[in-house]
Structure formats: C-alpha cells, structure tokens
Chains A and B, each alone.
Chain A
Amino acid sequence: MKHKRSLIFAILLFLISQYAFSQGLEITGTVTNSEDDTSLPGVSVYVEGMNIIGTATDLDGKYALIVPSSASNLVFQSVGFQTQVVPINSRIVIDVILEPEALGLDEVIVTGYAIQRKEALTSSVSSVESKNIEAVSASNIEKRLQGNVAGVMTTSLRGIPGSAPDIQIRGATSINAGNQPLFVIDGVPAVSGETGASQSFSILSSLNPNDIKSMTILKDAGAAAIYGSRAANGVVLIETKTGAKGKTRFSFSADYGVSKVINTGFDMLSSAELLELQREAVENSAEYYNNPTKYDWTDPNGEYYLPDELANTDTDWWDEVTRTGKLENYNLSASGGNENTTFYLSGSYNKNEGAIMNYDFERYTGNVRLDHLSPNEKFKVGTKVMGSFSKQNYVYDASGGVLPWENPIFAAMAIPSYYAPFNEDGSVNFDLGGAHGNYNPHGVDKFQDQGQEYTKLLNSTYLEFKPWNFLSIKSTFGLDYGYTKSHDFEDPRAPIYAGREGYYWEGHENNIQMSISNTITFNKIIAEIHSVTAILGQEGMQEDYEYISGSGKGANHEMPYLSTTVAEGQEIEGNPSKLTSNSYFGYFSYNYDSRYYLQGSLRRDGSSVFGDDYKYGTFGSISGSWRISEESFFNSNFISKLKLRGSYGTTGNSDIAWYASKGYYSVITYNGESSLLPDKIENPDLKWEKTATTGIALDFGLLKDRISGTFEYFWSKTTDNLLYQELSYTSGFSSVLKNIGSLRNEGLEITLQTKNLQGELSWNTSFNISFPKSEILDLAGEDYVGTTYRHRVGGAYMEYWMYKYAGVNPANGMPMWYDENGNLTFTYSEASRANVGSPEPDFYGGLTNTLSYKGISLDFMFYFVYGNEIIFGDRHYSEHDGASWGENANTNQLDRWQRPGDITDTPKPLVNNPTGANDWDNSRWLDNGSYLRLKFVTLSYALPKSWLDRIKLSNLTLFAKGTNLLTFSNVNGLDPERGSTGSGSYKYPNTQSISFGTQIEF
C-alpha cells in the first residue's frame, strides 16, 4: 500500500517536471578532460543565470539537461578545471573539453577542519602547487617548500639526505620554545621534527613526496587559531592523493640523477702554499717570541723543521671526501574506483647516495587509500595506511657542541695536504703526523659504521555520516607510529679506534601517537544569499615515547652488533615519557551573497605539559572579507577582482619539554643503591606562550586576471614567552621556566601572478617577496647573552654579539679590535663585544616561470635572500693564522699580511698564534648572507596523444630536472644557505643535482 502511494507520487512529480520544462529544449553532450581525453564525471552543468536548472555528468561524462528557450549560455564547472561558459546557439548536442585549472588546486582549499572555496578565504592561506613540490630533488618534502610562499622562510643548515630545514612561518615567535610549524596530514596532526642519533633525519622524510596532493600553509592566526595551542608557528596541511571514480589509472615514474655539494668559492691550500705559509709563520715567530733558535724552519733537529720534501705529496682532502652523489627514484601508483568506492595505491623507492662520503639515504614506501560512500549516500568511510622504511648512513658532524674528528668535512679542512690518503700497499694511511688525531676520513669510512633505520606507519580512518545534506558528523582516528634504531660501531682493527676496544652503541626509540577527532558540520544556504557553515568538534591526543640504548666494548668486525661479545663496560639507558592533549573547538563562517564574508573560530585546548591550573588555554580568531569586485556598483574592465580582508586571532605555543612544568626527583645511584635527587624545580603556573596576530590584505586581479596578486601586512605579538628566569643559586637551582617576556614580528608580503602569454605558447610567472622584521619587546630583566648570540630588548629576534674586529695593522701585520671606547687595540682581551648583525634577512622570496608550448614545458624558480649575516664557524679553524699549528688552512690565508704596507684583513701567521685573531667570536667571520639561487629547473616533454594512442598509453612524459644549479653569492664558504640561526661549523652543504626521468600513465 505504502509503496503504491510512493509510486503515484513519483509519477506525479515526473509529470509536473515534464510539464514545467515542456517548452524547453533538451541538450545532451559529453564532457572530457583536455589532458587525456578521458570523460569527466561529476561536472556541474547549469544554465547561466539560472543555476537551479542544472545537472551533473554521469560516470561516462554524459549529461542531459532540459533548458528553457530563454537560456543562452551553459556553464560547465568542476573542481580542478577551468569553468567554461558555452553559448547554446540552438544546438542540442554540446560536447565540452575542460581545461585543467592552471593553478591546480585553485578551486577549493582545505583550511583545517573546513573546506573552502578559495574566493571565500578571509585569512592568510597559501598552497604550494604539487608541480613545484615535485620539481625539487630532495628526499624530503619540507625542503621543497622553499621559495614557494611569501612569509614562509625555509632554510637548511645541512644538505644531508633526509635532513630537515628550519621552517619559519612569519618569523620566529619564541626564544625558548619551538619555532617549527605544526604539520597536519589528512586532518591528523603529525609527529614531525628529527629522530634518531644522527641529528639530521627528519621524520617527514619518511613520506613519499609523490603521494602528496597538496600542501597548504595557514600563515595567520585567522586560519590557524582552530589548531589552538600548537599553531603559533603556523600550520602546514598536507593532503595525500585519493582515488577518483573512473577507469583504473596506472602511473609509473622513474628518474635518475647525480649530485654534488654546492661550493661557491672555497678551497684549501696546496702543499706548496701551506709550506710557504708555515715557513713564514716560523720566521714571524722567531721575531715575535724573540727566539730565533727555537723558531728556525731550516734546522733539521728543530721543533719546526720544514723541509722542501713536505710538498712532495699534495693531497686535496676536499676531493677525497666529496664524490658524485647519485639519486634514484621509482614510483608506481594505481587509482580508480566506481560510484561508491575509490582507491589509491602506491609504492616507491628512493635512494640518495650522498655527495660526501659516509652519507646515504634510502627509502621504501607503500600507501593504500580507500574511500567508500554507502549507496544511500549517507555514510562515507575511508582509511589510509602509509608505511615506510628508511635508512640513513651518516657521521656525527657535531655531538653536544663537540666537533668529532670523524666528521669528513672537518677532516678535509684540517689535514695538511702533505699527507697521502693511502699507503703504497693501498691501506689507509693512519700516520698523518698526528694532525687531526690521525683521523683519516677514509679510515672512518672503512672502520666506523654509524647509521639509523626508521620505520613509519601512518594510519587514519574516518567515518562520516550525513543524515541530511546540511549536516555531517565525522570521526577520525589517527595513528602515527615511528620506530628508530640507531647504531655506532668502531672497528678496533683501525689504530684510531683501537683504544675504544670494540665500542658498539645502539639506540631504540619508539613513538606512538594516537588521536581521535569528532566534528559536526552544519552547512546551509538560506534564501539563496545567506551561506552558513558551523563546525563543533573535539580532539584528543596521546603520544608515548620510549627510548632505550645500550653500549659496550668487545665488538669486532665479524660481530658488529650488540651481543654477548659486547660484555665489557656495558651501559644501558632508557626513558619513556608521555604527552597528552584534549581540545574542544568551534568554527563559524557566514557569507552574504558571496560578497561579505565573516569567519570565526574558538578552541579550548588542554595539554599535559603545563601547570595544574593552567592546562587549558583558549584561542580564537575572527576574520572577514569584502569582495568589492562583486558589488553591483563596481564596474571596471581593468580590475577584474578586488577583495579586502582582515583578520585577528590568537594562537599558542606548547612546544617545550614534556614535563616542563613539573618539578621532580631523578633516580640516581650512590654506593650501588638506587637513590633520589631533585632534578628540576616545578613551576605550577607555567602556561602557554600566546601569539596574537593581526593582518590585512588586498587580493586583486587585473585584465581578466592576467595579472593577479596579494599585498599583505601582518603584526604579531607573542606574550608570556617561555623563558628561563635565573635564580639565586642559594635556592639550589639555577633557573626556572616562566612565562615572561614578549616579542613582535611584522612583515610585508607580496605575491604576484601574471599570465604573460596565453595560447599555444603560454608563459606564466609567479613572484613572492617577504620583508620580515622582528623585535624583542621584553625579557623581564634577563639579557640572554650566549657566546655568539644575544637576545636583547629592542634588538632583532637574534643578533650576533661578537668582538669587533678592526682588521690588520698595515705596519706590523697584527690583528686589531675595537675596545669599549671605540679605540683600536692589539689585545684581544680588551676587545669589546657589539651587536654586529643578525641572521634575519631584509627580504627573501621566489620567482617562478612556467613556459609551455605543445607538449614541452619549462619551469624554473629563483630563490633569493638579502640582507642577513651568516657565519661559517669552520673559518675559525681553517683561517687559524697559525693558531692550529700543523693543520691545513683555506685559501683566504693567501691574502695574509706579508710585508709592511699590505692592506688586508688576514694577519701575519704565527706558530700557535696567541693573538686571538682566530677566536670564535670575532666579527671577522661574519659574511653577507645574501644570495640568489636557481632553485629548480624542470624541462619536460609530453609525447603527443596521437602517438600514445597507438601504444595505448594516456601519458608519456620525459623530463629533466635540476636543483640548485646556480648560486650567486660572495660568501667565504661552501654554501650561503645556513639555517635560521645563520651559523654552523663543518656542515654538509646543500647539494646541486641534475636528474632525468620519465612518467608513464595508462
């Protein structure tokens, strides 16, 4: 009975609809993708001006629509494609080919818990094109951000394969807590940062960059406040690829390349040059120390005998440690699905043989993504499992502030060219006259094994329930598991390791993060012009970290592992710890007639790291925009788009030690008994560091968006800065972490995109530039003076605080400094420190060009930084003026003072130079850190469709890509890219590479 009634009702409806449009015209057609001629399902087709009359294409890209006779144009719209407006002209069959959107992800953008159309944005959100992500050869995705987005400074101190850059979004907001952004992968906050003993392995380098669909950066609090306590440094949202309904598509790509370290003008002395320098130093010393008998290089029995024979051997140790690196990438993916279920599968292998000996990186990944929509379209479930295994070989470049002799870059700069790397019988030469502890880098390469392995499992599963179109309820469960095993073995057969008696060390780290988030989303357009979205949600997270390491003596090359042979001097350490958080949040957005937009968010966040009464903090934002160009009064042919937006919000920083607020006793040993001693004093009042950000921006498009761009300015102020307040030692403690101090960041960011040529030959340019400025406002009376850096009120976030070097006295070749009163002095201890510069640039940015003609396309990006100061700490050693007697020096020492009247900054050399000329904290080491770099060039050629059809392929592209091919800079070192602190010693420089590959799809 019931069924019958429904049937009648349906028939009635059918009749009515037939009647309503009986005066219309039925138009049919097929919509296809211009890229590969495949049909496009899900394209909305509607009558222009009457968007209630519309339909969508079916699985085969076909549509049928009855349109009123008054209709003149049809609109074809689909995410990721350029919208087309097609005149009907009385046709009844209209086939349309849609062009993919030039800027890929332009239509919609994921902004945290919500998905927005780009024109609806009210805050500062930028996305990076996947094309630009893929253009850079780096094993890790973070490095690929550089130069793409205004306001995002990405800079790497190390070029070690697998290492991470420093990423600062709109400056550093914190002095003591972390300054790295929060990474969110498919809606789940991800564990990031470094893991293992190498100090150069980024957790995110375990991801396959080819699995990434988009990276979106939430730069201001307006967008990021929804992530509350972890968002003060911005948020990077990573979306991974999903399947699409349609026929199964396979894609395979492979590339192979070579790399070498960037060297903008650094070289060590040859034997002849070193000999000349050393002899000069001995001669100078005879006079300086007034001891011609002792300082006589011609005396065969003397301490400083320097015969000609020394120069018979001339080894270029830099050549010995560097090599041609090799890059290999293979990636296979398949995706597809039907109306209800889609899938994406991929597997990849990446190998990166370092350009310096001892450094390698290898990665295997696998990824499965499944999404299912129930036939009644009310339930959607999906799951993703990404697994990977990575291996890194490395050498410590520094451990705990100490420079280890094992570091090959250190060795290359220290060992005199007098010594041969190998003995005549081919064995490693361990007799380097005691120089550099006889640590021949070939010996380290052969007899020391340092490495780590990282196993990653990333899972997220969601269930979404849509009882009505306007309401959806979603639960997402996330699991982020990482296991790191690091090891170090020193083969006792090598004389340099004999004293270590077969030392073997192994460390195991286990990190499990589990999270659950639940949201209710309400979405409705009321009376056609009021569009409302509201989200309520909750999120809980728990992270468990466990660490255990063991070491001992007695291992040998046959048993290089932790076994019973490693019986002597055993040490074992371990430490599990836990972090939890719980949050509630709400989000609201409203727009009126797509002209006025208003958004707000509120989040209440609780975290275990803070004091008992301050576990929860509240963060929020409000933002709005006005699309002036949509107003009826606005009528300009020149200005095609104009939008004004502004935002204000607060975010927090909780990136401090997990038990920072706690005071506790540690377990120690006395007389073989387990004992307790106070470890840390508690601060039960410890709370969030808070950053409030205000931003205004103008988005514009000119000449039908041929030129478009954004001008933005932001001010952010961080308060309750987590700083250590020093105490009276009589309390038993030196300092306590407190919420004191404040700092400000502000900056101008400009982004421009131009379509220079359109048509068969197309040329697009995009440009971004940022002018950052930071200032410390308050340190609560604490002046943070480090050895090289200083944080001071009124100063930039970080400043160099060094002895002011005044060059060399032309009369006697002695180094000079400025003293307290600004007078010249020869005495280093009288030199006075001054703020001599900052690692913060005046501006930085990127310029990208994309040219394409038929199947050929050329993309290249220049990255630039200007106005920062950097330090190559290794100059302290390799421009030692004789202080590190017996070690090699770099070619800057050729400019040394030699005779009265010489004008130079390099003093005369002296044996064991006591003048302090090469001391660490000399402003002599400051370099202008400005540089311009050709970040990437990609040239690709897609074979014509007609050829491919014959071999049943949908795409075959050949490509060549170069990374960091050119660097223009004047620095006295290898690579001007020096990380956010601007300095470091003997770091593996960034590399340049060139690779060739192919991508095949069918």
Chain B
Amino acid sequence: MKRNITYILILSVLIFYSCSEDFLNTEPTDAISNSIALNNYTNLSKATNGLYAPLRSSDYYGAYMQIAPEVMADNVKRSTVKNSSRYVQEFDLSIAPSVGYWSGLWELPYYIISASNNVINKIISGEFDQEKASDEEINQLLSEALFIRALCHFDLCRLFAHHYTIQDQSLAPGADGNGGHWGVPVITITDVTIFPARNSVNEVYKQVISDLRKAEKMVIFDKGKNFANQNSIRALLARVYHYRENADSALYYSELVINSGEYPLAEGEDVVNYWVQEEGDETIFQVYSNSNENYFPGNESLNSLFNIGTEYPYSDLVITEELLGLFDSSDERLNLYERDENNEIRTKKFLPKESYVSVYENNIKILRVAEMYLISAEANLGLGNNDDGLDRLNELLNARGLPDASNLTKSLILAERRKELACEGHRLFDLAIANEDNVRPENNATPLVNYPGHRYILPIPVREIERNENITDQQNPGY
C-alpha cells in the first residue's frame, strides 16, 4: 500500500507537470515579431535600410513607375515584332480599373509608407533602446524614412491625382486651381482598421513637403548614392515644388543641389557610359540593383523590357520615331539610341551595369542632376530671371555637345526635358504640368488626348474601390 502511494506520487508529478506559460509562445526564427522588431537601434537601422529594397520592384521604380508615364505618352511605344502583351492597355490608353499591372503601383508605395511609418513613429515615440547610437544617428534614420514616405506619397499623388493647378471640377472634384481636388489618402500610422477617403492634393503636398523639410534638417551622413542624403532630399524637394508650381522654392532647392558641386554633368562618351556605371556622377539618388537581393525585378525589369537579344525574353518596348527625330546630329544623347535588327529603336539607358551578374541588373536612377538644371531653368524663367535660367539650360546643352540656346522659353525647356529625361518616367507628368495635349502619332488606338483629360492619370484599382467604402465613390471621373 505504501509503495503504491509512492508510485502514485511519482507519477502525479509527471502527470501534473505543467508546461510553463512560455511553452506556447513560439517565435519565427527567420523573422522578428512586430512587437519587438523595432525595439532597438540595430533593428531600427535595419528596418530603415529595408525601406529601399521595394523601390526596385517591377511594380515601382524597377519598371512600372518609369515605363507607364512614357508609354502612355509619346516617347515609348510597343514593338510590332516582340510582343509579350505587356503594357498594351497603357500604350493604347485603354486602362480599365478592373485589370492591369498598375494596381501594384497603388499597393506597393502604400506598403512602403506603412513600413516607413513604423520606423518614424517608433523613433518619435522614443520607446526603444538607443544602444550606443548618437542622437545624430537616430535622426539620420528618421530622415531617411521621412524621405521615403514623402517619395511614395508624392508618386501616388502624381499617378492617381490630377496636376496641382487643374480647375476642371468634372475631372477633378474639388478642383480650385490650387490643389483642392482629390489627391490620395495620406497615411502616417499603420492601422488595418482604417479605410481612409482621399485627401486633397494640397494636403498630400503639405505632408510631403513637411516630411522632406524635417528630413533635410536632420540628415547628417552620406551613405552613398544608394541611400538618401541631404542632396537627395533637396532634389526631391525641388521636384515637388516644381510640380506644385512654386518657382521660388523649386529654384532654391535645385540650386542647392547643383551648387553642392558633387554632381558634375557627364560629357562626351560619358553621356552614354554614365548609364552603366555603378555610381555615376550625375546620380543624386538611385536604388541598388542586385539579382540576389529581395524585390529584384528579374525578367520584369526595365532591362528586360527595353533591350533585345536572346538573353531578354520580352523586349516589348521601343522608342518612337518622333523622339529620335528630335535629337540634333551633334547631340551626344543620340548615341543612347540605335536601331535593332527589326529597324526598331532601342535605348541604351537600361543596359546591364558594368559589374552585372544578371543581365537584368542596373542601378535604378531616381534623381539625376540634369533634372535639377532643367528645374532651375524653368523656375528662373517663371521668376523672370531669364539669364540665370538660360545659363543653367546652356550648361546642360553644352555638356550634351550642343551649342548655347539664345532664348529661354517654356516650350524649349519642355522639349529639352523630353530629350534629356526620355524613358525615365517623366513625360506624361511633364505634359500635364505644361497643360499640353498628349499627341501620339505612333499610336493608332488613342493618337490624341487633350489636356485636361482623365487619361493623364490612372484609375484607382477596382479592388480598393470595392474594399474601401470611403473611396468607393471617389474613382477618378472618366474611369
């Protein structure tokens, strides 16, 4: 009997061995739980670094962001020989809200905004272990995240909302010539229970400018062109003010960048060579491209769509005859174009970079100093400083092997922008800013879109319209 009881006692210990509370708390080992992910400087620093990677996705700067504004306008068209059905709707301007690649262009920037918000709000809250980092190092992270949040909000706004000065309320409800019309939702916290309505364009610009100006003051370090530094923030400010048609500020920031002296214009053969360099002189900010890293666009990349050859499966995009016809024979930039075996025009802006492993690798140029010269010229013109403006334009023209222009006009600058920035995702926006019609002689489906018109912007993807009850009634008119 006694022995029985002893055994029972021993077994009872076994039976009522209770798993400690921690037993059911498992954590993934290749990932870090949200609750602890940003709790120290090391992780905050990694989470800031991570913000750059999705910029190179084919949904964003890796392809679509640069291609759509070009193929929807007059610089780029679809090959008649190589056809993988990519960008058909964009080229024909037959975009329907229900289908299409561009939905990623709505989803991905908001994803990056959400990731940026996590970093920004964590740093502002101060609830993390600073470890051995200095306040400057913390501020550096904050300013990089603010830069990326601003970039994404700005891009969403120019893609899905009409130009700042539009007045046609039937196209842009709320339009007052001063950004009062529908913009895009401004998101500054991550909260899945929020289904936001559209903010006005003016409100979006306010947020973007506020983020960038905060960032500009706090940034200290220069981590190379693959990361934001003070000049990239200023260059983006210049671009944003240019879009907002605030010539004073556009001039101020573009001149700050040019005068930093860090970005000499390429000349001679370098005008072509620049495009395959790891960190070309003209680059203010780029996204690093490497086939082993996340969000690498692979065969959906710019390289894959613009180049032809056995190593490229798609090759759908070629240059319009009209664009090529604009270049003077002495223009170094003419060397960026050549005819392929099918007599179609190919650009050399998206060749594999010098150190490539995969042919799809090329660092993606997001801000280039040439744009600063053009912004400065236009801002000067707007402010009546024609001579200063002409100087800036001529510096650019000379670098490209061209003689001085004698007279500065809006149309001259627009034409120069077209030639300089072709294929880089500017053209449709440039037309809208200039209130110019979109004339497309090389497209049969939609050869002309008058400004203003709904085809200057994209429809909000149908999924957002259906899922977000506060946006349901806010589809861009015309779609």
Q: Which residues of the partner chain A approach B31 to less than 8 Å between Cβ atoms? A: 659, 664-667, 679
Q: Which residues of the partner chain B approach A468 to less than 8 Å between Cβ atoms? A: 4
Q: C-beta contact mask, A536-558 vs B, less than 8 Å → 1, else 0?
A: 01101010000000000000000
When C-beta atoms are compared, the residue in chain A nearest to B291 turns out to be A569
Q: Which residues of the partner chain B approach A520 to less than 8 Å between Cβ atoms? A: 15
- Contact, CB under 8 Å: B28 / A662: yes
CB-contacts of B1-32 with A (<8 A): 4, 7-8, 11, 14-17, 19, 23-32
Q: C-beta contact mask, B257-294 vs A, less than 8 Å → 1, else 0?
A: 00000000000000000000000000000001010111
Q: C-beta contact mask, A512-554 vs B, less than 8 Å → 1, else 0?
A: 0000001110000000000000000110101000000000000
Q: Among the listed stretches B124-132, B190-198, B444-452, which one makes contact with chain A, having 4 or more residues with CB under 8 Å of it?
A: B190-198
- Contact, CB under 8 Å: A518 / B190: no
A445–B118 CA distance with the chains assembled, in angstroms: 52
CB distance from B147 to the nearest CB of A (A): 15
CB distance from A747 to the nearest CB of B (A): 35
Chain A: interface residue total (CB-CB under 8 A) = 61
CB distance from A100 to the nearest CB of B (A): 37
- Contact, CB under 8 Å: A571 / B292: yes
Is B312 positioned at the interface, with any CB of A under 8 Å from its CB?
Answer: no
Is A604 positioned at the interface, with any CB of B under 8 Å from its CB?
Answer: no
CB distance from A538 to the nearest CB of B (A): 6
Is B101 positioned at the interface, with any CB of A under 8 Å from its CB?
Answer: no
- Contact, CB under 8 Å: A728 / B194: yes
Across the interface, A580 reaches (CB within 8 A) one of B24, B46, B118, B190, namely: B24
A751–B439 CA distance with the chains assembled, in angstroms: 76
When C-beta atoms are compared, the residue in chain B nearest to A582 turns out to be B19
Q: C-beta contact mask, B169-204 vs A, less than 8 Å → 1, else 0?
A: 000000000000000010100111011100000000
- Contact, CB under 8 Å: B15 / A732: no
- Contact, CB under 8 Å: B110 / A675: no
Q: A467-B4, A473-B11, A582-B23 are in contact. Are A667 and B34 (CB under 8 A)?
A: no
- Contact, CB under 8 Å: A732 / B113: yes
Q: Which residues of the partner chain A approach B196 to less than 8 Å between Cβ atoms? A: 728, 730
Classify the interface of chain A: helix, strand, loop or mixed: strand
A332–B114 CA distance with the chains assembled, in angstroms: 63
Across the interface, A475 reaches (CB within 8 A) one of B15, B29, B107, B357, namely: B15
A664–B463 CA distance with the chains assembled, in angstroms: 25
Q: Which residues of the partner chain B approach A730 to less than 8 Å between Cβ atoms? A: 110, 185, 187, 194-196, 464, 468
CB-contacts of A677-700 with B (<8 A): 677-679, 681-682
Q: Among the listed stretches B50-58, B205-213, B318-326, B334-342, which one makes contact with chain A, having 4 or more residues with CB under 8 Å of it?
A: B50-58
Q: Which residues of the partner chain A approach B402 to less than 8 Å between Cβ atoms? A: none
When C-beta atoms are compared, the residue in chain B nearest to A575 turns out to be B30
- Contact, CB under 8 Å: B110 / A677: no
Across the interface, A732 reaches (CB within 8 A) one of B35, B115, B195, namely: B115
A862–B150 CA distance with the chains assembled, in angstroms: 68
Across the interface, B292 reaches (CB within 8 A) one of A658, A662, A669, namely: A669
Across the interface, B53 reaches (CB within 8 A) one of A378, A542, A659, A670, namely: A670
Q: A467-B8, A520-B15 are in contact. Are A663 and B467 (CB under 8 A)?
A: no
- Contact, CB under 8 Å: B468 / A732: no
- Contact, CB under 8 Å: A728 / B15: no
When C-beta atoms are compared, the residue in chain A nearest to B193 turns out to be A731
A334–B177 CA distance with the chains assembled, in angstroms: 93
- Contact, CB under 8 Å: B49 / A666: no
- Contact, CB under 8 Å: A668 / B192: no
CB distance from A357 to the nearest CB of B (A): 30
CB distance from A501 to the nearest CB of B (A): 13
Q: Which residues of the partner chain A approach B26 to less than 8 Å between Cβ atoms? A: 577-580, 608, 658-659
Q: C-beta contact mask, B100-132 vs A, less than 8 Å → 1, else 0?
A: 000000110011111101100000000000000
Q: C-beta contact mask, A879-904 vs B, less than 8 Å → 1, else 0?
A: 00000000000000000000000000
Q: A465-B11, A728-B464 are in contact. Are A538 and B114 (CB under 8 A)?
A: no
Q: A475-B14, A736-B192 are in contact. Are A727 and B114 (CB under 8 A)?
A: no
Residues of A within 8 A of B (CB): 378, 465, 467-468, 473, 475, 518-520, 537-538, 540, 542, 569, 571, 574-582, 606-608, 612, 615, 658-659, 662-679, 681-682, 726-734, 736
When C-beta atoms are compared, the residue in chain B nearest to A474 turns out to be B11
A577–B107 CA distance with the chains assembled, in angstroms: 29
CB distance from B430 to the nearest CB of A (A): 27
A671–B361 CA distance with the chains assembled, in angstroms: 13
Is B133 positioned at the interface, with any CB of A under 8 Å from its CB?
Answer: no
Of B53, B194, B467, chain A has the most CB atoms within 10 Å of the CB of B467
Across the interface, B54 reaches (CB within 8 A) one of A576, A677, A731, namely: A677
Q: Which residues of the partner chain B approach A663 to less than 8 Å between Cβ atoms? A: 33-35
Shortest 5 CB-CB contacts between residues of A and residues of B: A732-B114, A675-B50, A518-B15, A467-B4, A675-B49
Is B43 positioned at the interface, with any CB of A under 8 Å from its CB?
Answer: yes
A542–B24 CA distance with the chains assembled, in angstroms: 9
Across the interface, B464 reaches (CB within 8 A) one of A538, A666, A674, A729, namely: A729
- Contact, CB under 8 Å: A538 / B37: no
A519–B15 CA distance with the chains assembled, in angstroms: 7
A671–B292 CA distance with the chains assembled, in angstroms: 10
A519–B14 CA distance with the chains assembled, in angstroms: 10
A682–B33 CA distance with the chains assembled, in angstroms: 9
When C-beta atoms are compared, the residue in chain B nearest to A669 turns out to be B293
Is B399 positioned at the interface, with any CB of A under 8 Å from its CB?
Answer: no
Of A378, A468, A662, A729, chain B has the most CB atoms within 10 Å of the CB of A729
Q: Which residues of the partner chain B approach A672 to less than 8 Å between Cβ atoms? A: 290, 293
Q: A582-B19, A678-B115 are in contact. Are A729 and B28 (CB under 8 A)?
A: no
Is B138 positioned at the interface, with any CB of A under 8 Å from its CB?
Answer: no
- Contact, CB under 8 Å: B192 / A727: yes
Q: Which residues of the partner chain A approach B4 to less than 8 Å between Cβ atoms? A: 378, 467-468
Q: C-beta contact mask, B37-72 vs A, less than 8 Å → 1, else 0?
A: 110000100110111111000000000000000000
Q: Which residues of the partner chain A approach B468 to less than 8 Å between Cβ atoms? A: 728, 730
Q: A473-B8, A475-B15, A675-B50 are in contact. Are A574 and B30 (CB under 8 A)?
A: yes
Q: Which residues of the partner chain B approach A519 to less than 8 Å between Cβ atoms? A: 15
When C-beta atoms are compared, the residue in chain B nearest to A659 turns out to be B28
- Contact, CB under 8 Å: A729 / B463: yes
When C-beta atoms are compared, the residue in chain B nearest to A781 turns out to be B467
Q: Which residues of the partner chain A approach B140 to less than 8 Å between Cβ atoms? A: none
CB distance from B118 to the nearest CB of A (A): 7
When C-beta atoms are compared, the residue in chain A nearest to B115 turns out to be A678
Is B226 positioned at the interface, with any CB of A under 8 Å from its CB?
Answer: yes
Q: A577-B29, A658-B26, A670-B49 are in contact. Are A678 and B34 (CB under 8 A)?
A: yes
When C-beta atoms are compared, the residue in chain A nearest to B46 turns out to be A676
- Contact, CB under 8 Å: B53 / A677: yes
Q: Which residues of the partner chain A approach B49 to less than 8 Å between Cβ atoms? A: 670-671, 673, 675-676
A576–B34 CA distance with the chains assembled, in angstroms: 18
A475–B467 CA distance with the chains assembled, in angstroms: 52
A668–B56 CA distance with the chains assembled, in angstroms: 13
Of B115, B190, B192, chain A has the most CB atoms within 10 Å of the CB of B192
- Contact, CB under 8 Å: B15 / A733: no
Across the interface, B52 reaches (CB within 8 A) one of A581, A671, A679, A736, namely: A671
Q: Which residues of the partner chain A approach B107 to less than 8 Å between Cβ atoms? A: 729, 734
Q: A664-B37, A665-B32 are in contact. Are A733 and B46 (CB under 8 A)?
A: no
Q: Which residues of the partner chain A approach B467 to less than 8 Å between Cβ atoms? A: 726-729
Q: A677-B115, A678-B34, A732-B115 are in contact. Are A664 and B28 (CB under 8 A)?
A: yes
Q: A664-B37, A666-B31 are in contact. Are A678 and B114 (CB under 8 A)?
A: yes
A468–B35 CA distance with the chains assembled, in angstroms: 52
A504–B24 CA distance with the chains assembled, in angstroms: 39
Of B46, B107, B112, B471, chain A has the most CB atoms within 10 Å of the CB of B46
Q: Which residues of the partner chain B approach A666 to less than 8 Å between Cβ atoms? A: 30-31
Q: Which residues of the partner chain B approach A538 to less than 8 Å between Cβ atoms? A: 15-17
- Contact, CB under 8 Å: A575 / B32: no
Across the interface, B24 reaches (CB within 8 A) one of A537, A608, A668, namely: A608
A274–B288 CA distance with the chains assembled, in angstroms: 52
- Contact, CB under 8 Å: A668 / B294: yes
CB distance from A825 to the nearest CB of B (A): 19
5 of the cross-chain contacts (CB-CB < 8 Å) are: A520-B15, A577-B28, A675-B47, A675-B50, A677-B115
